[in-house]
Structure 1
């Protein structure tokens, strides 16, 4: 008879943690770990994406469940299965004759409490694996906080709660907003998955902590002021906008001030776009939307070479045979100029667009930059002009100027090395992002350049889209943090995971997400991928903002705290 004595010294195994669900039986560093599920644990309680911890002799290994499989020790059992009434026989065989195995993907490792001499400040990449029969347990609240941080850390200025692990309601998973603001990020999900709610959460976090100022191109007027909307659970309710939550930190710029006022709200600035503020590069993303051929688009550059910033006004105001004269002066084909004029003249029907010179007039774009410089975020509402061609033109024209200004500000900061000259990190939120970042035009638009190069100039993107497969792969590879809700298309799933190590195991996790209030969170702002039940954007969230570590006050404001706390209600 074999006897096993308790190991000691280096082989001493820590006391099993509570919530044990199984033990390790197989595995490798490259292919992942296999766990045998305890017989007493119902297999239907094991869910892909769940956060678990393997308790090694020296390290705790933080893992994600990626697959579940049932098996039998003897094929004869499967040839002669117990009948429906044989409950006792099934119970006897469970765990020995029949059993379940669970595939685990180790993501991080930390020294356990038995080895304080190995203590480290942050989890590190997995470089080894636990031994046979190491116990596996559900993660605890302390485990989640060790890995993902807690809102109370750092005075509430760094970590922000975005949801809870699957099966662990009320335990917060936080993102590091300092790291989140360092790079461009994305929220992906098919229509109806609650992308707008996820985006509101992330924006509220950056505003609350002051980690970044935001410019939000609000195509459907969903982010600024509150309105009735379909909530995450499918019901219709009134939800607060960012201006409602942060009145002293968010300004509203409106392309359609009449509609904004008709809704009972007052914009801070009315937005007008002058023809001489538009460059040929601003219309490139409109080629498909306006059905512009390549020759017509190229004609815009020929016009600019001849007439400078007045190129568009000259084209739109041309009458009769003046186009023939313009063709002679520029060298462009008259037919191409006619096509270009016909397509671009559509913008003259909009109240916000004018061919009047912008010189000596109040430049709302300068006001927008001044607002961002003051530390306030800007929501640019489109109102009834929620047409895609308007969204593309306005967003491109404004972002191009902002990009140029931030390049100038950053270069000045590098010269003076004065912290007072350091630009505030700016995050620009765009919806329908694939229209700006498609493979054929991403290298030509200001958004493509921001995604690829502007991190060093303190500007980043928050990309919101339902079709990641339509976004340029180089841009996708530059995204730091992704919050991915349900996607159905295989191409979208593959592209959403571009640049992610071991994306094959995450594909199954992503495919198993619920259609509402679940998302895979991964990238620069979190130490490891994790599936979360996203935080509900509602009354409890508003109260948490009010009563949280910052109490509604961002760290760089000098406003009265009581007034700011009162603003939330």
Structure 2
């Protein structure tokens, strides 16, 4: 046994194009670790505890994808961490910044008049409409049936505000009960959720910009976040036969796919993500799930991931779970995660040449969310 020479390691890990480097091999500042872009067609799990640099590092990966591939990216962004993905960071490489500037990055926000993050209630699937209205097809069978008949008939509108008046005009007691439910829940009052004639997010995503960031953090209610996420995921699944590649990035994935969601909307979103994890790969729908707590993400989704990025993680429970799911990663490398410094990550799976501990490179684009500093005298 003898240590490998740095030049041999560099040939193995670095690749020919420095633009593909996610960072430098820990302890070897001369050796870059390259992304293998054609292996992004597998699901990826990205995790690290708070303060590990997880979000910053994920931004590095998104930049490398934008710079070196033509793979469109869709980001579910619950904390508004990636809303500046189209802005240049201070001190960034001008050449790389210019190359990123040429890629179309769309930021959709609930309160943005020019690029609103909205969906159409009328475009939702029957299950999604029922979930938003807390309707059970058996327990609430009369109202559920009224909802089905409403959109199976001649009623056609893009204005959610017309639904209650139309239901009341029918003179049907079940339709009246459904109208009361909609009013009581205040669903129509989600004015930053429904398109009301504006371009829905699903139409923007269907154009396949280089990157589309959905700023879910701009909503007041978690139900609105779930409704928008469900509308987008359902639309992607409905179009799956088009087989158009898309990397679906779910930041803070424990919010959208926990093991035991508490609401019908949460169950519907989780179930759709489970379906995409299990069957979406052959249609070009590839997931990247990012979270602080692996144990808080549905195990059936994590088990479908073939790529792993692990940053500092002190939880023994989470490390044991990762060891059981990602059996191809040496346990000795996983155990090092408790000692990682900020910005260091273990990369393993097909999207890197071999399991490696990497110190992530600097961002080219601006970081959206940052820690609040401690006030000082």
**How far 1:401 moved relative to its partner?**
0.8
Mapping 1:238-253, distance limit 5 Å: 246-253=100-107
1:164 alignment partner, SS class: strand
Q: 1:242-295 CA deviation, whole Å, 9 max, x = no partner?
A: 99862331232423354xx8xxxxx5x4343222122354479889xxxx6968
Structure 2: how far apart are the matches of 1:377 and 1:349?
A: 26
Structure 2: how far apart are the matches of 1:493 and 1:532?
A: 18
Residue 393 (1) aligns with residue 227 (2): yes
Counterpart in the other structure of 1:501: 328
**How far 1:188 moved relative to its partner?**
0.7
Structure 1: how far apart are the matches of 2:298 and 2:85?
A: 34
Structure 2: how far apart are the matches of 1:162 and 1:200?
A: 10
Counterpart in the other structure of 1:434: 254
Q: 1:431 to 1:226 in 2, by over 3 A?
A: closer
1:187 alignment partner, SS class: strand
Residue 477 (1) aligns with residue 318 (2): no
Residue 202 (1) aligns with residue 61 (2): yes
Structure 2: how far apart are the matches of 1:536 and 1:468?
A: 26
Counterpart in the other structure of 2:340: 513
Structure 1: how far apart are the matches of 2:147 and 2:192?
A: 24
Counterpart in the other structure of 1:85: none
Structure 1: how far apart are the matches of 2:97 and 2:183?
A: 39
Residue 351 (1) aligns with residue 217 (2): no
1:273 alignment partner, SS class: coil
Q: 1:130-184 CA deviation, whole Å, 9 max, x = no partner?
A: xxxxx321x43323233324242xxx7xx7211222211242111211112x112
Structure 1: how far apart are the matches of 2:220 and 2:55?
A: 16
Q: 1:297 to 1:212 in 2, by over 3 A?
A: farther
The TM-score with structure 2 as length reference comes to: 0.76
Structure 2: how far apart are the matches of 1:321 and 1:285?
A: 21
Larger-gyration structure (1/2): 1
Counterpart in the other structure of 1:254: 108
Structure 2: how far apart are the matches of 1:492 and 1:396?
A: 28
Mapping 1:259-274, distance limit 5 Å: 269-274=115-120
**Aligned pair partner of 1:186 in 45, 49, 54:** 45
Provide the aligned C-alpha RMSD in A. 4.1
2:348 alignment partner, SS class: strand
**Aligned pair partner of 1:171 in 13, 31, 38:** 31
Q: 1:248 to 1:308 in 2, by over 3 A?
A: same
Residue 136 (1) aligns with residue 2 (2): yes
Q: 1:367 to 1:531 in 2, by over 3 A?
A: closer
Counterpart in the other structure of 1:419: none
Structure 2: how far apart are the matches of 1:324 and 1:504?
A: 66
Q: Do the aligned residues in 2 keep the contact of 1:227 with 1:239 (CA within 8 Å)?
A: no
**How far 1:297 moved relative to its partner?**
9.2
Q: 1:302 to 1:314 in 2, by over 3 A?
A: farther
Structure 2: how far apart are the matches of 1:303 and 1:499?
A: 47
Q: 1:161 to 1:303 in 2, by over 3 A?
A: farther
Counterpart in the other structure of 1:234: none
Counterpart in the other structure of 2:283: 457
**Aligned pair partner of 1:306 in 145, 149, 152:** 149
Q: Do the aligned residues in 2 keep the contact of 1:255 with 1:270 (CA within 8 Å)?
A: yes
Q: 1:69-97 CA deviation, whole Å, 9 max, x = no partner?
A: xxxxxxxxxxxxxxxxxxxxxxxxxxxxx
Greater share of strand = 1
Q: Do the aligned residues in 2 keep the contact of 1:517 with 1:533 (CA within 8 Å)?
A: yes
Structure 2: how far apart are the matches of 1:502 and 1:253?
A: 36
Structure 2: how far apart are the matches of 1:502 and 1:362?
A: 44
Structure 2: how far apart are the matches of 1:322 and 1:489?
A: 58
Q: Do the aligned residues in 2 keep the contact of 1:427 with 1:459 (CA within 8 Å)?
A: yes
**Aligned pair partner of 1:150 in 11, 15, 21:** 15
Q: 1:169-224 CA deviation, whole Å, 9 max, x = no partner?
A: 242111211112x1121221122222221111111111112241111223333324
User: Larger relative contact order (C-alpha < 8 A, sep ≥ 6)?
Assistant: 2
